[in-house]
Structure 1
């Protein structure tokens, strides 16, 4: 059973973010790092969705 992912979260982990954007985890990790949206707390990497969304909007055609 698939768990529904909340789109209104400010921070997500890589796996959750990759599912939200329908991309592979490696692609999501790379994009999040390019956007400088990754926050590391101890051994946990969180992605700031607001920063990532702004970064992705720059590529709109």
Structure 2
């Protein structure tokens, strides 16, 4: 997958990267509507006329808030 390679490169370099909804949904292996809602909740959306981009750095920070660290969850 080309998008997955691009995402891995982004993570390695730590560069700010902007993607469209469809690209981001593919990168994170989720549906487009779910990615759109999470990007909105994360306040990671940039709108340039008709073009909408999502800042992956902001999105990743938001996604980390869902990290489950409770050992009891895994039992």
Larger helix percent = 2
Between structure 1 and structure 2, the one with the greater Rg is 2
**Common fold: TM-score over 0.5:** yes
Q: Normalising by structure 1, report the TM-score.
A: 0.92
Q: Which has the higher contact order (CA 8 A, sep 6+)?
A: 1
TM superposition outliers: structure 1 runs of 4+ over 3 Å: none
Unaligned ranges ≥5, structure 2 = 11-15, 69-75
Q: Normalising by structure 2, report the TM-score.
A: 0.75
Unaligned ranges ≥5, structure 1 = none
Cα distance in structure 2, aligned partners of 1:55 and 1:27: 14
| Pairs aligned (count) | 59
